Copies of this chain bind each other. A is one copy, B any other.
Amino acid sequence: MSDTRKYLLSEDQIPRAWYNIQADLPSPPAPVLHPGTGQPIGPDDLAPLFPMALIGQEVSQDREIEIPEPVRDVYRAWRPTPLYRATALERDLDTPARIYYKHEGVSPVGSHKPNTAVAQAFYNKEAGITRIATETGAGQWGSALAYAGSLFGLEIKVYMVRVSFDQKPYRKAMMETYGAECVASPSDHTNSGRAILAATPDSTGSLGIAISEAVEDAAQRGDTSYALGSVLNHVLMHQTVIGQEAQAQLALADDRADIVVGCTGGGSNFAGIAFPFIGEKLRGGGELDVVAVEPSACPSLTRGRFAYDFGDTGKLTPLVKMHTLGSSFVPSGFHAGGLRYHGMAPLVSHAQDLGLIRSVAHTQTACFEAGVRFARAEGIVPAPEATHAVKAVIDEALRCKEEGVSRSIVFNLCGHGHFDMQAYTDYFAGALQDQPYDEQELAMALAGLPSVPAAA
């Protein structure tokens, strides 16, 4: 039985500004460096890839960046998203915890990704760009940019990580329905793709490889920008509409967050739910425990090194300081394709370094078990990425039960699993593999971290 508690905001409560955590951090993140000179890069270095408005957001120290009205207007198609109290899951767990979840799966593409896709498409359109190249893991980001491209009349080219391209063919069909082109990465469309294919013809691909391809594509064409679905400061910032809405909705519930949980691959979903709460704490708010959840098979926050590294496998990007497994690390082909990135957003990495967040890693089998439990209680089938958050939330709720304490736990259900039912099929068939990663491969990838040239 049910006792639905859904907290809704009105359309005019869609946030009017994105929240920029850089304004509140006790120390700034390390600068992004040019790999040749070791010097911090400037706006001009990024101009071939991004419109100037987004470059400005990347380095802004303003706490609030106003959301352009045309972007808020598109947001209105599905925002504000609901915040639910997971009453049925609480009963199922017999926990005194109060569990809340934001449901970003109600967007047209079924995930949180359009929050930044729409913004990036808008700024590119404003700058006169007509074509965008990008990469995608599970396809959530590629679908979102294809959707935004169709609304703003932009041509979209998507390099999709091979293992997900094969596992999730329907994401490609969705991108094509929106009018985008989607190819498997590594592809023979770029030099970096051809190099990988020559060395490992059966490469399953990785986000690092697909990024190299998209960056190369964009850099070579004057009409084309590059867009990234996570990692970068401005991308994380666009997602803060999630956490800001959640704060207003918790106030409606007459509650506040004790624990905030988000799954994290590149970091944008995690930042989207967590950064507004961390900002509140930094500005004098109360106690807060923030948990980033990553896959055991790609554990950048829990097992990676906090060091300068390339954002891509082809070493085409600037050097960023982040928790990384090494840009040559290729994770196994597990189902949460959105979490298969060798690094972690510099801002999320920095937040962990500052002690503002903690991180845990879980196997995919444990996560699907949690996801099925959630689906049967709450009625929503989570995307494989989101099951990582669910697993950590259940653990925290059971800890509350053990300790006899009622804490409030807030997480973001970053997408529905309707595109990922093959993963659930595999789970029910007992066919999921849980080998975390190859220790030797990780050691080699870490040994290959770039040395940072001394600044001139």
Residues of chain B contacted by A106 (CB below 8 angstroms): 106
What 1/0 mask marks residues of chain A from 390 to 433 whose CB sits below 8 Å from any chain B CB?
00000000000000000000000000111101101100100000
CB distance from A120 to the nearest CB of B (A): 15
What 1/0 mask marks residues of chain A from 149 to 187 whose CB sits below 8 Å from any chain B CB?
011110000000000000001111110111100000000
With contacts A6-B77, A425-B169 taken as known, whether A381 is within 8 angstroms of B88 at the C-beta atoms is no
Contact across chains for B8 and A170 when beta carbons are under 8 A apart: no
Interface size of A by CB at 8 A reads 49
Closest to A6 in B: B76
Q: Is A380 on the interface with B (CB-CB < 8 A)? A: yes
> In the complex, A88→B77 CA distance in Å?
12
Q: Is A16 on the interface with B (CB-CB < 8 A)? A: no
What 1/0 mask marks residues of chain A from 331 to 355 whose CB sits below 8 Å from any chain B CB?
0000000000000000000000000
CB distance from A321 to the nearest CB of B (A): 37
Residues of chain B contacted by A8 (CB below 8 angstroms): 10-11
Candidate in A2, A8, A169 with the most chain B CB atoms within 10 angstroms: A2
Contact across chains for B151 and A1 when beta carbons are under 8 A apart: yes
> In the complex, A125→B404 CA distance in Å?
33
Q: Which of A20-28, A231-239, A371-379, A442-450 contacts B (4 or more CB under 8 A)?
A: A371-379
> In the complex, A83→B76 CA distance in Å?
12
What 1/0 mask marks residues of chain A from 363 to 388 whose CB sits below 8 Å from any chain B CB?
00000000010011101110000000
Chain A interface, >50% SS class? helix
What 1/0 mask marks residues of chain A from 109 to 134 whose CB sits below 8 Å from any chain B CB?
01000000000000000000000000
> In the complex, A185→B379 CA distance in Å?
26
> In the complex, A216→B425 CA distance in Å?
28
Q: Is A37 on the interface with B (CB-CB < 8 A)? A: no
> In the complex, A173→B74 CA distance in Å?
33
Contact across chains for A2 and B177 when beta carbons are under 8 A apart: no
Contact across chains for B421 and A379 when beta carbons are under 8 A apart: no
> In the complex, A148→B135 CA distance in Å?
38
CB contact list, A4-50 vs B, under 8 A: 4, 6, 8, 10-11
Q: Is A73 on the interface with B (CB-CB < 8 A)? A: yes
Residues of chain B contacted by A425 (CB below 8 angstroms): 169-170, 172-173, 176
**Between-chain CB contacts (< 8 Å), 30 pairs:** A1-B152, A2-B70, A2-B73, A2-B74, A3-B73, A4-B76, A6-B77, A88-B151, A106-B106, A108-B379, A108-B381, A110-B418, A147-B379, A150-B376, A151-B379, A169-B422, A170-B425, A171-B421, A173-B424, A173-B425, A174-B381, A174-B421, A174-B424, A177-B372, A177-B417, A177-B421, A177-B428, A178-B379, A418-B419, A419-B421
Binding site for B on A (CB under 8 A): 1-4, 6, 8, 10-11, 70, 73-74, 76-77, 84, 88, 106, 108, 110, 147, 150-153, 169-174, 176-179, 372, 375-377, 379-381, 416-419, 421-422, 424-425, 428
The 8 closest A-B pairs by CB, nearest first: A170-B421, A173-B421, A4-B76, A418-B418, A173-B425, A108-B379, A150-B376, A2-B74
